[in-house]
Amino acid sequence: MLVYWELFLAFFIPNMIGYGGGPAIIPLIEAEVVGRYGWMNAQEFAETLALGNALPSPIATKMAGYVGYDVAGIGGALVAIFATVVPSLLLMLGALGLLYRHRDSPRVKRMSQWVRPVIAMMMAWLTWSFFNEGLDSAGLMHTVIIGAAAAIALLRFRTHPAFVVLAALVYGGLFLS
Amino acid sequence: MTPPPTKAPLGALLWAFTRIGLLGFGGGPAMIPLVQQEVVKRHAWLSDEEFADILAIGNTLPGPIATKMPGYIGYRVAGAAGCAVAVVAVILPMVVAMIALLALFSSYRHVGWIYGMGQAVVPVVMVMMGQLTMDFWNKSRLALGWALSLAVALAAAALIYLLGVHPGWVIGTILAAALLRPTPKRRGA
């Protein structure tokens, strides 16, 4: 029973404070799943994120579904998805009139603006921890090769993330076994 | 608000949002044009103006936009059942795919080349996260200036990573301050 409550909190809190859409929620979820509860290590979280980025549909619900399943089976997946989707949707349905009046309010705009530097910093921290994880598991040479190739593909040629993940899987199967 | 009249058949809603979920690569914000395509252009369940209003309202709330939009639109055009159908249609197929693929992967993790595949995605995710970092940092710099952005980022880093404060307290405090502090004349914005 406790694990369901923890799963609920681990996904409810990031989704209630994560202004800026799905991507903003990722470092907050990492702080809960890897940092606070230790359900996954950085390697497993990176694998989940890689597949999440390669498949369509919202990233937040895919992460919730898989982490919930990994921790506590189908029931866990349902609890984590519920915590991700339902509270903010109920707020939207319940407070629509109020929100409608304030949709262009400078205070509301300020909320996502002021939170953004914190999210950017947590993302930078997560980038750094993935780098360390890469050093530990794949080693410096492979981390640099894969990282540089992925950066060129994603940033220079705007390759679809699914193809970049697929290419990395092939590389890993051939050279890192 | 009174419950809106039923305007859309559940089957059409189910199919429209399944299509959005399957074609929506790149996470929530990338899916908004697809939602508009289906809901405004194809089925005319909402006008362009209503759609823009719903998007603006969705952005005043936290949480993923790609589930708030389908949920609200489903409710609006087909009541509570429509809300449930739209949300499930947009998320369920890929949640199932994700669980199946990762569960399969985990059960063969001990096989050498599959283990190598898992290791090789870490640097890719590192680059993607670096890309998101730059994106959020640039938006922050444009809105707040780099000095203030850096000061907030460093203060938050010290609280969260040095003192072990839960990020929820840090962000919750900032959100409360942004909401409650009186709005002064805008600084040159």
Domain boundaries, chain B: 10-107, 112-180
Residue B116 DSSP one-character state: H
pLDDT digits (tens, 9 = 90+) for B70-125: 999 999 999 999 999 999 999 999 999 999 999 999 888 888 898 899 999 999 99
Model pTM?
A: 0.88
Judge contact between B32 and B102, C-beta under 8 A. no
Of the candidates A85, A50, A79, A58, the one whose C-alpha atom is nearest the C-alpha of residue A67 is A79
Measured CA to CA, the distance from residue A147 to residue A106 in angstroms comes to 40
pLDDT of B189 over the 60 cut: no
CB contact under 8 A, B139 and A25: no
Measured CA to CA, the distance from residue A17 to residue A90 in angstroms comes to 15
Confidence band of B4 (pLDDT split at 50, 70, 90): low
State the alpha helices, DSSP H only, in A18-58. Answer: 22-30, 42-54
Of the candidates A48, A59, A45, A54, the one whose C-alpha atom is nearest the C-alpha of residue A163 is A54
In this predicted model, which residue has the larger pLDDT, B45 or B60?
A: B45
> Which 27-46 residues of chain A touch chain B by CB within 8 A?
28, 31, 36, 42-43, 46
**Chain B hits for A19, Cβ within 8 Å:** 62, 175
Judge contact between A142 and A173, C-beta under 8 A. no
* A interface test, pick of B57, B110, B127 with most A CB neighbours within 10 Å: B127
Q: Residue A162: what pLDDT?
A: 87
Measured CA to CA, the distance from residue A33 to residue A27 in angstroms comes to 10
* B interface test, pick of A11, A51, A59, A116 with most B CB neighbours within 10 Å: A116
pLDDT digits (tens, 9 = 90+) for B19-35: 999 988 766 677 888 99
Nearest to B118 among A43, A91, A126 (CB): A43
CB contact under 8 A, A23 and B132: yes
Cβ neighbours for B30, distance < 8 A, ≥ 6 positions apart:
B24
Q: Residue A159: what pLDDT?
A: 87
Amino acid type, B131: Q
Q: Residue B185: what pLDDT?
A: 56
* B interface test, pick of A74, A118, A140, A145 with most B CB neighbours within 10 Å: A118
Check if A137 contacts B (Cβ < 8 Å).
yes
Task: Compute the count of residue pairs across chains A and B with CB atoms less than 8 Å apart.
Answer: 351
User: Which residues of chain A fall short of a pLDDT of 50?
Assistant: none
Query: In A25-150, at which residue ranges do the beta strands (DSSP E only) sit?
Result: none
Average pLDDT, chain B: 88
Q: Residue A117: what pLDDT?
A: 94
pLDDT of B2 over the 70 cut: no
Confidence band of B1 (pLDDT split at 50, 70, 90): very low
Mean pLDDT of B143-165: 95
The minimum CA-CA distance between B55 and chain A, rounded to whole Å, is 9
**Got the DSSP string for B8-39?**
S-HHHHHHHHHHHHHH-TT-HHHHHHHHHIII
Judge contact between A18 and A83, C-beta under 8 A. no
Nearest to A102 among B60, B90, B160 (CB): B60
Confidence band of B187 (pLDDT split at 50, 70, 90): low
Element (H, E) at B174: helix B167-180
pLDDT digits (tens, 9 = 90+) for A118-162: 999 999 999 999 999 999 988 999 999 999 999 999 999 988 888
Of the candidates A32, A64, A71, the one whose C-alpha atom is nearest the C-alpha of residue A49 is A64
pLDDT digits (tens, 9 = 90+) for B7-17: 789 999 999 99
Nearest to A58 among B31, B99, B135 (CB): B31
Residue B6 DSSP one-character state: P
Longest pairwise C-alpha distance within chain A:
58
